[in-house]
Structure 1
Amino acid sequence: MPPTTTASSGQKPGKSGRKKGRRARLFLIVLVLAVIGGIAFGGFWTVSTVRASFPQTTGEITLDGLSGPVDVKRDSYGIPQIYASSDEDLFMAQGFVQAQDRFYEMDVRRHMTSGRLSEMFGSSQVKDDEFLRTMGWDRVAQEEYDTKLSDSTKKYLQAYAKGVNAYLKGKDGKDISLEYAALGFRNDYKPQEWTPVDSVAWLKAMAWDLRGNMQDEIDRSLMTSRLGPQQIKDLYPEYPYSRNETIVQDGEYDSATGTYVQGDGTTTTGSTAGTGLAGDTAAPSDLESQLSGLYNVLDDLPTAVGVNGNGIGSNAWVVSGAHTITGKPLLANDPHLSPSLPSVWYQMGLHCTTLSATCQYDVSGYTFAGMPGVIIGHNQDIAWGMTNSGADVTDLYLEKLTGDGYQVDDKVKPFTTREETIKVAGGASKTIIVRETDNGPLLSDRDDELVKVGQKATVNSAAPDRGDGYGISLRWTGLEAGNSMDAVFELDKASDWTEFRDAAASFDVPSENLVYADTQGNIGYQLPGKIPTRGKGDGSLPAPGWDSKYDWTGYIKQAELPYDYNPERGYIVTANQAVIDKDKYPYTITTDWGYGTRSQRITDLIESKIKDGGKISTEDMRQMQLDNSSEIAKLLVPKLLKIDVDDPDVREAQKLLEGWDYTQDADSAAAAYFNSVWRNILKLAFGNKLPKELRVEGQCLNVAPVDTTGPADEDQTVLECGERAADQAQPDGGDRWFEVVRNIIDDEDNDWWKSPATRTDEATDTRDELFRRAMTDARWELTAKLGKDIDTWNWGRLHRLFLKNQTLGVDGPDVVQYMLNRGPWKLSGGEATVNATGWNAAGGYGVVWVPSMRMVVNLGDLDKSKWINLTGASGHAYSAHYTDQTDIWAEGQLLDWSFSEKAVDNSTSDTLVLKPS
């Protein structure tokens, strides 16, 4: 029996319609290619070319290297459950099956992590490769594999690679994926064998996108060019500890034992603040140019899972059996990542036919194509989820360069150098020299303009003598060899809280909030990761590399990291808020938490359910994940409704907010208007005052065009850049800006409410004057975008999701982009809501990050757990499983998640047997 959604009909919504759409699209593509084949591509593509790479999912395949037969059971969504009798066979089969579905994606990822994209895509990727080679992710991954990882982890990585290579054996590119067939017209690239290090390196790419506050570090420094210390403080307010609860609410740091223990206690800590450069050290005047130039480099980098470090959040919470219908815990998780096609996640189960010393795994959940094991999910005993902790694990250092070295205190130290040769498809190779300081690689060497700026740097009295100028280096925990890959396998087989914490201790990077539940009824939380301690400074600003007092002094010990186990309140919520009150912990984990908007909303939803003895169900958890309530609307709308508006058209729009319940449903006209008002408030109050160099605020985002014609063509995949003022930065509108506005909302004459006159508008001096102008601007903005008749307005027409293949779907010929990309979907939700379909006010209203998957694990009956992916199991553009989960995901529904062998058998549609030779 196939898995069903939680919809009352038990059927997959719109299934027949989507199948017809796929057939029509495929017919059209084949017809188009038949016509233009000899002109555009120099060849003739047929249906067989399109389907050649589809995986075999039934029958038998013989694989050299297996010790016994392996069953691969796929459900009606193509999600595989693998059954084997040894660990090595299990992971070999995992490699084979993932390569069947997603090898092109895997191949692109490993070329990104190793700085070899130019080998696939030519000279357009040379700059990216230079930067990635400078960081040297693959070199660190190789060191981890050679010196850090356990023997068992190495065996599993080798088995996984063997499975991938068994799939590749004897195949040409066109036999592997449609993208290779298209790529073959541009260059003669041939896929190479997979290596264990290829899998390890992907963890570095993931960690890079989840790296913490590096962007805020740059932004604060750039703000000093136009803003004073108080203004910067206004824009980076303190975390609201008294209003939004931290993850860990009970416990204390025991200075006598150097451990974190549960209980009550207070240990005071402080934080430092500065402008431009950390501490009291004044910076060279060209630091601004150095940092804004670094933005240019960072902006162009391909992302692994996020928007280059922006907007990365997630929700995960767990409720104990005392508050659930089943009497056992429920655990929910939905990581917020960039939308991609295929999804960054790959669903699967890994099952030993009999658990034993030689076969130890019975686990199911989400992993990455290219990596063995399961990253998030559950086994037969425990479940776990992850959210980004935001721990500050990156620091930028301004280095004083002299000849072949850099200055530290009163000495000049020589650079560590290495030579990197970048091969370029269809072009000449390029060799670069990478220079490293004790703090890390010189990122500024990768931009010609930065090098010139560094050599011309003007020095003030507080910086060292001039010499050859300045550069910027990066210290990041991800550039130090660790054993995070060990943690994946340790989590997958952990059976209780103690083993779970032991596994977490191996999770060096990224530092993720880990939530826990088990079938015995326990719940917990652990903060893992290598989190640095600093001599001076708090990591909030770039540090002077010439002063050793700003060096890292070590890492917070595992025993010192905050945790929570079976708290009395009966639930734990993590949604990127502060881990622990700063007055209860002696270390600075970060100065840049999320501000707790989502986490407090989830807490309030749980509290409302359990008051007076209420119980929570799996369906309640799903409904919480879909909560669309706008917290900033609750604050602003009452004030917006009190403003007298003379213009009848603006008054008509204002009336949309009367009686609005603040939910941002796709069909809500009020949500469309309010979000436009919010965007215009930010633009007027802050946009003209921020330095234009700020990257997040000012970047031109790759977002969808607004729907100006009513219902969109379902096959439209062309993306345009969102509009923004060219001469000023714009706030992104996230929950930091919620807090900024909350702090000044009752100060009606605050300087931030002043905005200059324009050709058509008078200057504003007060809050209500600015709000009135924002309401007017929003009315005419939406008139231009959605039409004058407000009865046709809705949030979904503005807030749309397009899914793009991350390579040829961006940069390929138009017809290839048409073949590979999908969308749009009109979405509910919004920025800093629990249903976090994020948008960036700097670039428009299009969706730029999403709940990349959703799951609810039922520890009372694992077969009653639910899950969904953003796209589908397959990376093949015309597979039935390319985007077969997207409509269901967009509707907020979940699929049944079979785990036991009986449930898996009942949901199996196809069975493939892999046999040893």
Structure 2
Amino acid sequence: GGAIVANDMHLGLSTPNIWYRASMVWRDTRPRRLTGVTLPGVPSLVAGSNGDLAWAFTNSVGDWSDLVIVEPDPADPNRYRTPSGMLLVATVRETIEVKGGASVPVEIRETIWGPIVDHDSSGRERAVAWVPLRDGGMNGALAGIETVETLEQLFDVAARAGIPAQNMVAAQRDGRIGWSIAGRIPRRVGHDGRLPTSWADGTRGWDGWVTPAEYPHLIDPPDGRIVTANNRLVDGAALEILGDGGYDPGARARQFKDDLQRIAQASVRDMMTVHLDDRAIFMSRWRDLMLQTLSAADREDSEARRELRRAVRETWTGRASVDSAAYRIVREFRTQVGELAFAPLIERIRQVDTEYSPLAARGAEGALWALVSERPLHLLDPKFKTWTDLLLAAADRTAQDAQKAGGIATYVWGRANTVHIRHPLSVAVPLLGPFLDMPAEELPGDSHMPRVQGPTFGASERFAVSPGREQDGYFHMPTGQSGHPLSPHYRDANAAWVTGAATPFLPGSAVHTLTLRPAGAPQSTEAAKSK
């Protein structure tokens, strides 16, 4: 039996796309073929298959940086305390040239731990210690995965790779599967990194890198399935190594897992159904809460509330579909409940950051659901007599939002989830939009489901492949392969990505050939015929 890797890396969407499809063929001790995606200008594959192994990435959401409180010399603010004694803050001055305007001077102050980036509420300066700023934190070691043949070899190379730390999922040709972290992990000493702290006396800090043998990993789980969707995969000692950078609450990962569990004998093509799953399981309990709030007999009724109730009860499809008003209503209701419920708790934060959004925190759902379920009066905003009053106010706000958008009949999810894939130049010069941008598309999907989709964010590619059976795999990505607007390949891949059509993972027969040869080398007859 074989194994399958399915992947869709969620990134900001723009044209040209961030990825470049590639299939590299060469021979060393044996014929080699490497197929997948790379980054333009990067001399190695990022995700794909080498015939023996297929691998892919998701954001690990571990904790790969720390804030270090800088202890200044009382007699000289340009000196600071370190384990080696007082040192001078290094100052780097740069100038940013601005076309048509005055140049902007920039001063960067650096410590042995990293640059000073801000100060805390007490006025203490803080430096950031970040993996890529350390020796070995960035390197080209990931290219070593191109010829590996086993999971163990793969994860050893990945642990030494200087890349932003990622979840790496992989499948071996013989059917084995595994997960680990790709990228360097700092070895913390004397602290867990959760809060800013001083490293001045040497009892706290980073002491090199965690060794590959210490990396958390999962190989061949009993159920034969591994899911990473920015969720937490480990606890205990392994979690202490990785830290917590704000893991996804897990609803999307659970939906992925349930989808896979329902497939007894999985094929590569089955993965497309999983990729495009837009069922609104995460929002279903919020729908129930909204209906319960609007349906109680002792509630003051209004035409707006009755209209909301009818739409949510009668038009709910259970999906984040483009024609669903009920999904958009329930989603907006949750947002409004969050704003009202968290308001008294984040008042001091808003005094510092007026744009702070409590629901932007990935752990917000647990706290919010606990509030509306347990309804503690001591945490209720004094503006409301009861939690029910707060929920009704959230429903009224939702109705007002719908009316501003033209009424509930046109308050469908597709209107809010219209995808705009734009070229950087058209952002600056909108008149270029029709020439440079992809067509605007109303698309299904949202953040807490397998089909992650927002107006400017979503699957930057989708593929599924079984190593050794690449001819059965599929791949698609938004926009096209070319970055030239006049090329026929500038936007020819976009339609398949929009509709979820499976296009081949492997390239077809060559249509155009470009031959590169050293300067001064004689032109061969074969090269002369190429085009």
Coarse TM-score class (shorter-chain normalised): 0.7 to 0.9
Does structure 1 conserve the Cα–Cα contact (< 8 Å) formed by 2:55 and 2:171?
A: yes
Matched, 1:356 2:28: yes
Hey, what does 1:781 align to over in structure 2?
A: 401
Of 397, 400, 420, 1:802 maps to 420
CA gap of 1:694–1:335, structure 2 versus 1, over 3 A, is farther
Q: Using structure 2 for the length normalisation, give the TM-score.
A: 0.87
Q: Give runs of aligned pairs for residues 471-870 of structure 1, distance below 5 A.
A: 471-482=125-136, 485-582=139-236, 587=241, 589-590=243-244, 592-609=246-263, 614-643=264-293, 644=296, 646-658=301-313, 660-687=316-343, 689-691=345-347, 729-733=356-360, 735-752=362-379, 754-755=380-381, 763-785=383-405, 787-788=406-407, 790-806=408-424, 808-811=425-428, 813-838=429-454, 847-859=455-467, 861-870=469-478
Letter of the 2:459 counterpart: P
Distance 1:687 1:367 in 2: 44
Distance 2:209 2:167 in 1: 17
Q: Give runs of aligned pairs for residues 241-390 of structure 1, distance below 5 A.
A: 327-352=1-26, 355-357=27-29, 361-390=32-61
CA gap of 1:376–1:728, structure 2 versus 1, over 3 A, is closer
Specify the SS of the correspondent of 1:404.
Answer: strand
Deviation per CA, 1:162-210, whole angstroms, max 9, x where unpaired? Answer: xxxxxxxxxxxxxxxxxxxxxxxxxxxxxxxxxxxxxxxxxxxxxxxxx
Distance 1:670 1:435 in 2: 52
Letter of the 1:651 counterpart: R
Hey, what does 1:910 align to over in structure 2?
A: 512
CA drift of 1:549 comes to 3.1
Distance 1:477 1:781 in 2: 43
Hey, what does 2:489 align to over in structure 1?
A: 881
Deviation per CA, 1:47-80, whole angstroms, max 9, x where unpaired? Answer: xxxxxxxxxxxxxxxxxxxxxxxxxxxxxxxxxx
Specify the SS of the correspondent of 1:579.
Answer: coil
Of 503, 513, 528, 1:895 maps to 503
CA drift of 1:600 comes to 1.3
Aligned-residue identity in percent? 26
CA drift of 1:912 comes to 3.9
CA drift of 1:546 comes to 4.3
Q: Give runs of aligned pairs for residues 10-49 of structure 1, distance below 5 A.
A: none
Specify the SS of the correspondent of 1:618.
Answer: coil
Deviation per CA, 1:218-260, whole angstroms, max 9, x where unpaired? Answer: xxxxxxxxxxxxxxxxxxxxxxxxxxxxxxxxxxxxxxxxxxx
CA drift of 1:586 comes to 5.6
Structure 1: 5+ residue stretches without partners: 1-326, 445-453, 460-468, 699-726, 757-762, 839-846
CA gap of 1:561–1:671, structure 2 versus 1, over 3 A, is same
CA gap of 1:419–1:361, structure 2 versus 1, over 3 A, is farther
CA drift of 1:802 comes to 1.1
Does structure 1 conserve the Cα–Cα contact (< 8 Å) formed by 2:132 and 2:138?
A: no
Distance 1:458 1:851 in 2: 38
CA drift of 1:602 comes to 0.9
CA gap of 1:530–1:855, structure 2 versus 1, over 3 A, is same
Distance 2:149 2:377 in 1: 56
Deviation per CA, 1:104-142, whole angstroms, max 9, x where unpaired? Answer: xxxxxxxxxxxxxxxxxxxxxxxxxxxxxxxxxxxxxxx
Does structure 1 conserve the Cα–Cα contact (< 8 Å) formed by 2:216 and 2:238?
A: no
Letter of the 1:686 counterpart: F
Letter of the 2:331 counterpart: N
Matched, 1:407 2:81: yes
Range 529-538 or range 427-436, more displaced? 427-436
Specify the SS of the correspondent of 2:183.
Answer: coil
CA drift of 1:663 comes to 1.3
CA drift of 1:820 comes to 2.8
CA drift of 1:859 comes to 3.3
Specify the SS of the correspondent of 2:127.
Answer: strand
CA gap of 1:687–1:877, structure 2 versus 1, over 3 A, is farther
Does structure 2 conserve the Cα–Cα contact (< 8 Å) formed by 1:734 and 1:831?
A: no
Does structure 2 conserve the Cα–Cα contact (< 8 Å) formed by 1:578 and 1:594?
A: yes
Q: How many equivalent residue pairs?
A: 510
CA drift of 1:539 comes to 1.6
Distance 2:319 2:397 in 1: 22
Does structure 1 conserve the Cα–Cα contact (< 8 Å) formed by 2:251 and 2:282?
A: no
CA drift of 1:334 comes to 0.6
Deviation per CA, 1:359-386, whole angstroms, max 9, x where unpaired? Answer: 9741111111121221011112210010
CA drift of 1:532 comes to 2.2
Does structure 2 conserve the Cα–Cα contact (< 8 Å) formed by 1:420 and 1:432?
A: yes
CA drift of 1:411 comes to 4.4
Deviation per CA, 1:638-677, whole angstroms, max 9, x where unpaired? Answer: 2221223611232222222226343111111211111111
Specify the SS of the correspondent of 1:573.
Answer: coil
Distance 2:337 2:268 in 1: 39
Distance 2:168 2:19 in 1: 18
CA gap of 1:407–1:914, structure 2 versus 1, over 3 A, is closer
Does structure 2 conserve the Cα–Cα contact (< 8 Å) formed by 1:691 and 1:728?
A: no
CA gap of 1:341–1:766, structure 2 versus 1, over 3 A, is farther
Structure 2: 5+ residue stretches without partners: 523-531
CA gap of 1:397–1:360, structure 2 versus 1, over 3 A, is farther
Distance 1:391 1:510 in 2: 10
CA gap of 1:773–1:398, structure 2 versus 1, over 3 A, is same
Letter of the 2:403 counterpart: T
Specify the SS of the correspondent of 1:791.
Answer: helix
Q: Per residue, is there more helix in 1 or in 2?
A: 1
